[in-house]
Amino acid sequence: MNNPELPFQILSELAGQEEPTPATLADITAAADILDETDCREPSEDRLKALNVIKAAQDRVTPKVYTDFCLAGLTLSPEELPAIYDEYPALYWYDRTFSKVLAGVKEEVVPEGKTVLWHVYNMGYVIKTSKHCFAIDLHHRRAEELVPYLDFIAVTHNHDDHYTERFVKAMNREKKPVITNFFANANYPMTDNESGYFKGPERTFELGDITISTYESDHNPKLRRFMQPVEFVCGKEPNACVILSSGDTCNAQQLKYHSPKLDFYIVHPYVGLKVDEAANLLNPNVTLVSHLEEFHHRIDQWRWTWRQGYEAARKIWNTGHDAIVPACGDKIVF
């Protein structure tokens, strides 16, 4: 980016504290318009100020408020939503950005050789190529709406902010593969049919022209081998886009990929992993700093702010590698 210090000049330094002035629904609508019109690869002053407005609204959403909202899922009627949005404008933005991704997934015609990523929420991304559409770590109140458009999904680990049970069950009902180390799904290659799923130290298989490789890593000192990092090679051409999500892996030394190069690395930067070490080890073209402003977590515990996302990005920039901090709804093209 042209001015790497700009995010720190604009984004609030508050972490684990509520913003003094909550944002209204009108404020959030205006901020969302700005985010829609700007590019996460070039974080302008207007975009960063809009993120501060979004954060002010996000701080008002407690884990209980979010859990109740998410669990209600698609049972919430159009008549109920305006009152919820008015009280918690961040939830309006959360739903609005999902609608933006859903429209993009439906309408985007991806030429051969290109790959499109949409950031949905937390560490959730939808990836579309000329032939396939799939998702990694997709958690959202409305996730089931994407089922008709997805060929398969993958989940890095068994924590609620990385998947939605209704969604994976809906994928299963449609006999669409759910690649995970914990969910009882018997519709993808190399499955242990007796247990309903397969948990192995390392796997590689193909779905269409997508090659998927998984292995094991640690979430933290207590949850050893709990994670399933996932690598996607998005086509058979030599320069096909390669994406790695390490989920909540805490140890950079455990990370790897099988391809000659890595285009996108999706990282949680505040789970013990050293992002600069990961950048030097993996040498990705772009690191996508994710797992920010996640509503399951209290604002004084594990709800990492936009500013903290840029602090992680700066550590990566200092290694000479590229990093961006996408917001929900952002589209990134390979």
pLDDT tens for 115-160 read 999 999 999 999 999 999 999 999 999 999 999 999 999 999 999 8
Distance (Å, whole) CA 177 – CA 154: 8
Task: Grade residue 17 by pLDDT with cuts at 50, 70 and 90.
Answer: low
What is the pLDDT, as a whole number, of residue 294? 96
Task: Grade residue 194 by pLDDT with cuts at 50, 70 and 90.
Answer: very low
Q: Looking at the predicted structure, is the pLDDT value of residue 162 above 80?
A: yes
Domain boundaries, the chain: 6-333
Which helix or strand (DSSP H or E) is residue 106 part of? helix 89-107
* Pairing verdict, β 331-333 and 133-136: unpaired
Q: Looking at the predicted structure, is the pLDDT value of residue 196 above 50?
A: no
**Diameter of the chain by CA atoms?**
56
Task: Grade residue 16 by pLDDT with cuts at 50, 70 and 90.
Answer: low
Exposure of 30 in the CB half-sphere (CA atoms within 13 A): 9
Can you give the C-alpha Rg of the chain in angstroms?
19
- Give strand ranges (E) for 161-201: 178-179
- Look over the chain and give the mean of its residue pLDDT values, rounded to a whole number: 91
Exposed e or buried b for every residue in 172-184, given b needs 16+ CB within 10 A?
Answer: beeebbbbbbebe
Q: Looking at the predicted structure, is the pLDDT value of residue 191 above 70?
A: no
108: its two tokens: 């985007």
Q: pLDDT higher for 176 or 14?
A: 176
Q: Looking at the predicted structure, is the pLDDT value of residue 195 above 50?
A: no
Across the strands, what pairs with 131?
none
Q: Domain 6-333, what fold?
A: Metallo-beta-lactamase; Chain A (3.60.15)
Q: Using an 8 Å Cβ cutoff, are 179 and 153 in contact? A: yes
Quickly count: other Cβ atoms within 10 Å of residue 269's Cβ.
25
What is the pLDDT, as a whole number, of residue 239? 93
pTM to 2 decimal places: 0.93
- CA distances 174 to 68, 99, 140, 147, 149, Å, are 26, 22, 19, 8, 11
259: its two tokens: 């391809």
What is the pLDDT, as a whole number, of residue 243? 98
